[in-house]
A and B are shown apart, each in its own frame.
Chain A
Amino acid sequence: MSMKKRLLAVAAVSALTVATAVPALALDNEFHGLFRVRGIIDNFNDGAGGPVGLKNNPGTRSYIEQRARLMYIAKANDDLKLVTHFEFDSRWGDNSYGSNGSTRNNGGGIGADQTNLETKNIYLDFNIPSTPVNVKLGIQGFDDGYKGIISSTDAAGLVAKAKMSFGSLGGAYFRFDDAVTGTGAAATATAPASYTNSYVGVPASSTTAGSVIQNSTPGYLTRDLVNLNAKVNVTKDVKVGVDYYLLYSDVLRQTQNRANIHMAGINAEAKVGPATVDGFVLYQTGRLGSAIGTDSQKVSAFAANVGAKVKAGPGTLRANALYISGNRDNGTSTRNDFQTILERGATTPGHAFYASEMQIMLRNKYNMSSDRAVVFDLNNGSQGLLGGFVGYDLAIDKFFMNSNLGAAAVARSARAGSDYLGTELNTEIGYKMYDNLTTSVQAGYMLLGQYYKPANGSWAENPYTAKLQVNYTF
């Protein structure tokens, strides 16, 4: 064997040794996951997301969809780990072999083989040595301290949090969009439709409808979110948090001014006797890029919530009230409707209010690809929302039941007539087959309010839903 071959052999053996030895010594592996199947029968879902198009004779839809998620965490040591999270969605019978030209939310058709892997999260989670600071860097989930009405989505960014003796201090930065579209015909051809719509939550009305942005420079047209927060543990059972948010967007600055929405919020939670009470107040100010007036409008809006839960009998009684301010006339220089965050269009919101536990009126936490609701975006077409929700949770051994009643109205509307959106009654009855596997039946019915009274003709049909769900998590 020549010297060169020996060196190659030694190098190969060394590389193999390192490759096999290092992971075993250095990494701890952690896995989590989810598998959920839902059989759906209703008259308003169609396997997609967005607001419900209420109509007189919607027909009944029945279909089955499933979701799998796999999370792998590679722990290098106690202070450093890489978190990866992937998702596979499909509707039974939808498509296979990529034959519909789409990848995500597919693969349930006969033959199945489909490239449908979605990246949900990939981020580094580490502690800065000799400090109390933890950092999460990369594509990650970000849920605000306001029950999700600002942000309940995944995005690329940085979150830092320092544990302090009094509670915590934190900050976050997220880049929601970096709009590189190309120019000329290329921009028209490649720009998503949503680029011509809202970037701060109000579809069309705040933008120059139909305009196409053109950009070839990364970082030039962006939408960003900045957060600073502090949390104080007043006592073991009393906590107060304060936040500042800046929602900034210059994606549409080729046609209108930048949007700068400043938000100041305070949230609190306290245990009072057998009850736990929580709530928040959020105020928005700043300017919204708009095609109205001098290409921007002043914003003055707010949102508030109060919630409580208390042990009652064998179960727990829950209650939540939510107010989202609305606006009567979007053509004036000041907007009073609470600006929400959409992802890239009106069918993918970046926020929610899952605490309501509604199944039809508002987005439900179990929704997957089928994600429609009567009030899908809490901005609610600039009308805002005033809602009250009560529920009762009962769990006896392996059986559980959650029942909810909710009623809502628009906060402010230019429409004549009633603001009352309707009343929803829903329930979920389930059984824990195993510790990690639950099966449940969910059913909901919404009685439409006078808001939907037609000027003439027939009323829209009251929406209903019935679902059989199997949910496995580990």
Chain B
Amino acid sequence: MKKFAVCLTLLLLFIYVPAGGAAPIKAYVSEFSVTGGQNKDELKGVLQTLLTTRITSDAVTTLDNKTGAEVIVSGSYLQIGKVFSIDAVARDVRGNVVTRSFVQGESQDELIAAVGKLAQVLAGGIAKNYVPTVSSQPVAPVAGAVTVPVVAPPTDIVRPVDIIKPSTAEKAVDAATQPDIIRAAPVAKSVGGGWVSQRLTGVMSGIALGRTLENGEREVFVAGNRTLKYYQMGEGLKLVAEVSTSGEEKILGVDTADLDGDGVQEVYLTVLSGESLVSRVYLADGATLKKIADNLPYFMRGMALAGGKKKIYVQQMSSDTDFYGDVYELVKSGDRYEMKNPLKLPRFAFLYNFNQFKDREGKTNFVVIHPDGYLMVYSASRDELWRSSDKYGGSEVYFQRPDLSNFRTTGDPMRWIFLQQRITVTGSGEIVVPQNGGFWVVGNSRSYGKSAVVAFAWDGSSLEERWRTRQSQNYLADYAFDETRKELVLLEAVKKEGLLDKGASALYIKKVE
């Protein structure tokens, strides 16, 4: 009997010890908000990293993302003069405060030590006060009780969870766990001020923004294959004027820029007629589109290279080369337009698939979408520095040129030349790139069916994703980034063109911050 009792005791101990032994509490440190001081963006990531590494103890372990975290620590940094204060709060998955603490210092020299001290206090508080949740299943709300949302409201912008350089949008969800299923909210109600226009007849291919009028409405220029439409965008889109091309002319793109510095942006329309470029420039006067230049033999695209001033850049077409020679800046001299300041591009780059950005040392690098869709970074000396694993860009806009010499191989008397999505570099150095995808994208047959817009930042070695829009089930034809309002204005094809159907398009606005 004694032997049996001893064995039973040992067995119970064996079972009890691992079950009852306190496993480390899983914590996640989200991005800090920073007020005052310099290098705010860098400090957000640095503080997060410092606290993540220092809060780890026997009782607390840290995770790289929110998934599976039992405690989420969020903090803020405030600096006035040289004095700083770091305040942090740890909450459980229900949003209940587990512990909170703060430290302060007299100068930046004390920052690291202060974070260490804060981590120690927080770790102790978490170990002492945290009560594990019995079930990981969502708790049904009790009638009459104040409910804490478990799933954060979706936004138009999705930011990756990352230890090194997370983003501020994390604050919106720092009190909740990351859900396995992301439920899309109606666009018009989504956080960030989502807006969608009325349905536009026809599959449009290009968009450009003009000035903001006194009544607050924005000028928007939308181009299709054979039409340019001038809208004023307020609560809805109001068609103001429209011009069409004739014969075999095809519109390849629309852009805006104020090249003469009069405060009014001109509208630059790239038009191909047969094998000749007959691009033109319009001026929107509030009621009509007035043509101020015609038969310009250029492909044109508006870009703010390296996040600078937006200008129009051009490239020529030769008798046997689709994009001939260097890219030039288009300069307006009186009523005439001239090419100036040639820019030599790296391999695979042409007018429609590149931009530039500056790295931390101020060097100007190129970012290019490879013909196969990879995002590439070249140094100022045109050496390849990096290329993505995923594919980006993707456009259904193309033009054709006779190509009888390859007819025997292609079976098509025309050669297909596809353009590429524009790359925008913001003033803060973010690189914004669309990403179209779809099932049937083979050779010259392109029919994209879903899209997103992705922003990257260069960390010195590679492009790191900063945020992306939620995936749309439409092909993104073109977009414009309104830097002032921090808005993406997306032109999406909501219905493909059919045999007897012109298809339809719509404009979407997504707030980036």
Residues of A in contact with B (beta carbons under 8 Å apart): 28, 30-34, 36, 67, 69, 71, 75, 78, 85, 121, 141, 143, 147-148, 152-154, 233, 236-237, 239, 269-271, 274, 276, 311, 314-316, 354-355, 365, 394-397, 433-436, 471, 473-474
Which residue of A has the minimal Cβ distance to B412? A473
Interface of A is mostly: strand
Which residue of A has the minimal Cβ distance to B324? A236
Is there a chain A Cβ closer than 8 Å to B388's Cβ?
no
Residues from chain B with Cβ under 8 Å of A153 in the complex: 408
Per the bound structure, the CA–CA distance linking A474 and B410 in Å amounts to 9
B317-334 vs A, CB cutoff 8 Å, 1 = contact: the mask equals 011100011000000000
Min CB gap A374→B, angstroms? 21
A–B Cβ pairs within 8 angstroms, 14 of them: A30-B372, A71-B443, A78-B348, A78-B370, A237-B318, A271-B319, A314-B248, A315-B248, A365-B404, A395-B248, A434-B499, A436-B444, A471-B411, A474-B445
Min CB gap B408→A, angstroms? 6
- The 7 closest A-B CB pairs, nearest first, are A34-B411, A474-B445, A32-B443, A314-B247, A473-B412, A474-B443, A236-B318
Residues from chain A with Cβ under 8 Å of B370 in the complex: 78
Min CB gap A392→B, angstroms? 12
Per the bound structure, the CA–CA distance linking A141 and B409 in Å amounts to 7
Min CB gap A173→B, angstroms? 20
Which residues 412-431 of B sit at the A interface, judged by CB distance below 8 A? 412-413
**Inter-subunit contact B411/A239 (CB<8 Å):** no
The size bracket of the interface on B is 20 to 34
Which residue of B has the minimal Cβ distance to A31? B442
**Inter-subunit contact B318/A34 (CB<8 Å):** no
Which residue of B has the minimal Cβ distance to A438? B412
Is there a chain A Cβ closer than 8 Å to B407's Cβ?
yes
B257-296 vs A, CB cutoff 8 Å, 1 = contact: the mask equals 0000000000000000111100000000000000000000
Per the bound structure, the CA–CA distance linking A30 and B372 in Å amounts to 9
Which residue of B has the minimal Cβ distance to A33? B443
Name the contact of B274 in the complex, choosing from A71, A236, A270, A311 (C-beta under 8 A). A311
**Inter-subunit contact B246/A314 (CB<8 Å):** yes
Per the bound structure, the CA–CA distance linking A214 and B411 in Å amounts to 38
Is there a chain A Cβ closer than 8 Å to B316's Cβ?
yes
Q: A473-B412, A474-B443 are in contact. List 18 more A-B contacts (CB 8 A).
A: A34-B410, A36-B411, A69-B411, A71-B443, A78-B348, A78-B370, A85-B409, A152-B408, A237-B319, A270-B319, A276-B275, A315-B248, A316-B274, A436-B444, A473-B410, A473-B444, A474-B442, A474-B445
- The total of Cβ contacts below 8 Å across the A-B interface reads 89
**Inter-subunit contact B444/A32 (CB<8 Å):** yes
Residues from chain B with Cβ under 8 Å of A365 in the complex: 404, 407-408, 413
Residues from chain A with Cβ under 8 Å of B413 in the complex: 365
Which residue of A has the minimal Cβ distance to B273? A311
**Inter-subunit contact A269/B319 (CB<8 Å):** yes
Per the bound structure, the CA–CA distance linking A315 and B249 in Å amounts to 10
Which residue of B has the minimal Cβ distance to A394? B248
Residues from chain A with Cβ under 8 Å of B410 in the complex: 32, 34, 473
Residues from chain A with Cβ under 8 Å of B347 in the complex: 78
Min CB gap A312→B, angstroms? 10
Residues from chain A with Cβ under 8 Å of B316 in the complex: 236
Min CB gap B433→A, angstroms? 19
Question: In this complex, which of B348, B409, B442 has the most chain A Cβ atoms within 10 angstroms of its Cβ?
Answer: B409
Per the bound structure, the CA–CA distance linking A274 and B277 in Å amounts to 11
Name the contact of A143 in the complex, choosing from B408, B411, B443 (C-beta under 8 A). B408
Residues from chain B with Cβ under 8 Å of A28 in the complex: 372
Per the bound structure, the CA–CA distance linking A67 and B409 in Å amounts to 13
Is there a chain A Cβ closer than 8 Å to B226's Cβ?
yes
Per the bound structure, the CA–CA distance linking A34 and B325 in Å amounts to 32
Is there a chain A Cβ closer than 8 Å to B406's Cβ?
yes
Min CB gap B491→A, angstroms? 19
Name the contact of B411 in the complex, choosing from A274, A316, A433, A473 (C-beta under 8 A). A473
Min CB gap A426→B, angstroms? 15
Which residue of B has the minimal Cβ distance to A68? B411
**Inter-subunit contact A34/B412 (CB<8 Å):** yes
Residues from chain B with Cβ under 8 Å of A143 in the complex: 405-406, 408
Which residue of A has the minimal Cβ distance to B246? A314
Residues from chain A with Cβ under 8 Å of B407 in the complex: 354, 365
Per the bound structure, the CA–CA distance linking A152 and B274 in Å amounts to 26
Per the bound structure, the CA–CA distance linking A50 and B62 in Å amounts to 79
Given contacts A69-B411, A276-B275, A396-B247, contact A75 B372 (CB under 8 A): yes
Min CB gap A91→B, angstroms? 18
**Inter-subunit contact A433/B408 (CB<8 Å):** no
Given contacts A355-B404, A365-B407, A365-B413, contact A396 B248 (CB under 8 A): yes
Min CB gap B276→A, angstroms? 7
Min CB gap A293→B, angstroms? 37
Given contacts A28-B372, A31-B443, A396-B248, contact A141 B408 (CB under 8 A): yes
Min CB gap B447→A, angstroms? 9
Which residues 366-391 of B sit at the A interface, judged by CB distance below 8 A? 370, 372
Min CB gap B404→A, angstroms? 6
**Inter-subunit contact A236/B325 (CB<8 Å):** yes
**Inter-subunit contact A276/B319 (CB<8 Å):** yes
Per the bound structure, the CA–CA distance linking A354 and B406 in Å amounts to 11
Residues from chain A with Cβ under 8 Å of B442 in the complex: 31-32, 474
Which residue of B has the minimal Cβ distance to A152? B408
Per the bound structure, the CA–CA distance linking A377 and B429 in Å amounts to 63
Question: In this complex, which of B347, B398, B407 has the most chain A Cβ atoms within 10 angstroms of its Cβ?
Answer: B407
Question: In this complex, which of B246, B318, B372 has the most chain A Cβ atoms within 10 angstroms of its Cβ?
Answer: B318
Per the bound structure, the CA–CA distance linking A436 and B247 in Å amounts to 20
Per the bound structure, the CA–CA distance linking A36 and B248 in Å amounts to 25
**Inter-subunit contact B320/A239 (CB<8 Å):** yes
Per the bound structure, the CA–CA distance linking A28 and B442 in Å amounts to 12
Name the contact of B319 in the complex, choosing from A36, A239, A315 (C-beta under 8 A). A239
Per the bound structure, the CA–CA distance linking A130 and B483 in Å amounts to 42
B342-380 vs A, CB cutoff 8 Å, 1 = contact: the mask equals 000001100000000000000000000010100000000
Min CB gap B507→A, angstroms? 24
Residues from chain B with Cβ under 8 Å of A154 in the complex: 408
**Inter-subunit contact B499/A311 (CB<8 Å):** no
Question: In this complex, which of B226, B316, B408, B411 has the most chain A Cβ atoms within 10 angstroms of its Cβ?
Answer: B411
Residues from chain A with Cβ under 8 Å of B499 in the complex: 433-434
Given contacts A271-B319, A314-B248, A474-B442, contact A354 B404 (CB under 8 A): yes
Per the bound structure, the CA–CA distance linking A464 and B324 in Å amounts to 43
Name the contact of B276 in the complex, choosing from A239, A270, A311 (C-beta under 8 A). A311
**Inter-subunit contact B445/A436 (CB<8 Å):** yes
Per the bound structure, the CA–CA distance linking A47 and B246 in Å amounts to 41
Residues from chain B with Cβ under 8 Å of A147 in the complex: 404
Which residue of B has the minimal Cβ distance to A141? B409
Min CB gap B378→A, angstroms? 13
B230-268 vs A, CB cutoff 8 Å, 1 = contact: the mask equals 000000000000000011100000000000000000000
Per the bound structure, the CA–CA distance linking A121 and B411 in Å amounts to 14
Min CB gap B307→A, angstroms? 28
Residues from chain A with Cβ under 8 Å of B318 in the complex: 233, 236-237
Residues from chain B with Cβ under 8 Å of A31 in the complex: 442-443
Min CB gap B387→A, angstroms? 10
Which residue of A has the minimal Cβ distance to B373? A28
Residues from chain A with Cβ under 8 Å of B274 in the complex: 311, 316
Residues from chain B with Cβ under 8 Å of A78 in the complex: 347-348, 370
Per the bound structure, the CA–CA distance linking A130 and B226 in Å amounts to 44
Per the bound structure, the CA–CA distance linking A141 and B273 in Å amounts to 30
Per the bound structure, the CA–CA distance linking A28 and B389 in Å amounts to 11
Min CB gap B135→A, angstroms? 39
Per the bound structure, the CA–CA distance linking A120 and B197 in Å amounts to 50
Per the bound structure, the CA–CA distance linking A152 and B407 in Å amounts to 10
Residues from chain B with Cβ under 8 Å of A434 in the complex: 499
Residues from chain B with Cβ under 8 Å of A394 in the complex: 248
Per the bound structure, the CA–CA distance linking A34 and B410 in Å amounts to 7
Which residue of B has the minimal Cβ distance to A276? B319
Per the bound structure, the CA–CA distance linking A436 and B411 in Å amounts to 11
Which residue of A has the minimal Cβ distance to B226? A397
Residues from chain B with Cβ under 8 Å of A311 in the complex: 273-274, 276
